[in-house]
Structure 1
Amino acid sequence: MSSSPRRITVLISGSGSNLQALIDALNTPALPNAQITLVLSNRKAAYGLTRAAKANLPIPTAYLALQPYLKQNPSKTRQDYDAEVAKIVLRSKPDLVVLAGWMHILSEGFLELLDRRKRVEGEDGLSVSEPIPVINLHPALPGQFDGASAIERAYEAFQKGEISKSGAMVHRVVKDVDRGEPIVVREVPFVTGESIEAYEARLHAVEHEIIVEATKKVLEEAKPSS
């Protein structure tokens, strides 16, 4: 194994509590010999950017949002935006990309540059020799509540008596939303009479554990970047 720290790039959109869990785990037994080399947000006001800047060793950050990008580049498309996100990610030379509350569905324009199906035009140095794994945290069980508002939809289903538990998972990112291979799955049962806020707090605590667990697991499997 390489003695160089394994390089992680994290994509966020909001408060960054899952990012904080990763930062806190760096170079502990939970996530040994690792560093976060970039935090990228698609929202300028995301508090996760502040968390990165305030880390013990400040973490470089970047920002790129879809609508401003399309406005500044009228001939470009959403696929072009996703390819631009991929280039920013690739410049950080990651061994692993973690989507930690990244509220934007990444298209093939992103994935095909990370998994080596397509080369980066005009920047040959960015093209990868080995596929770079991309993982995502999703607050639901596999196949249960894909896409947005999963927590609210699960809680509503519980209120209707349709389910007794939900949970969270970290899965590999594929073009189909939240349908990639699960890496770590954790069930979280509902409690009768519990508010959605209380359930959400319990769920987030689980998320903070499994995002670290899955990151360690995939890094152990992935080849170091060259």
Structure 2
Amino acid sequence: MSSIVPGPQKKLEQEIDAARSGAKPLQAGDLNTSAPPQEELVGLEDWPESLRSAVEAEHARVIALATNRRRTADRVLPDVVRGLDGLLGEIADRLQADKPRLFGKAAPAEPLNDIADVLGIPDDELSPSTGRGEHRAALRTIKQLRSQLQELETSHEHSKLTRLVTFVVRLAVVTDSAPESTATLAPIALDRYAKSSPDTQWDWTFDQKFAFWKQTRTALTPNT
């Protein structure tokens, strides 16, 4: 009995379907049989699943774009979109959870300047407390970003998605590692993004951003 070996295109589709179903992690080298083998990302073992999957999907997309495989990048793009949407949902949940004790709260006991610097927030934009207006605006911005992600899933605007990845993953890393800072800093960061405030990390390579995300988690996560 003869066996039928799937062609490269069919094999690619099978690899992506298996990754989306959770049956097999998607590796950058799986995306194209002619693509050079890619190193796996190291240092994600203790990351939350939502962050890890979003970063891994983004890595696969970036590698595909860097090796001139636009169709492959387009195929991976929905995985990146879903990952970012999940992270934005978690940030919104954290803001909602903080709401009962947020309003009228005094400034945090610990200064947030260092964490604000991680998010690209200048010292002169720091606010000692967040009111209802800022809180509602932050949730509206998250809703708008999630709508943008839905549009990107069909428009395939990779440059715009790269900016969203840069912002959302960084904010998610801070929210996960220093959740007590979310109520104060997330509204400011979201407002800056909505206003298209300059962000030097937009021009960073994936490797630079990945190293920064890992350093941030190491610096902000309390020792256990």
TM-score range, shorter chain: under 0.3
Please identify which structure carries the higher strand content.
1
* TM-score w.r.t. length of structure 2: 0.27
TM-score normalised by length of structure 1 = 0.27
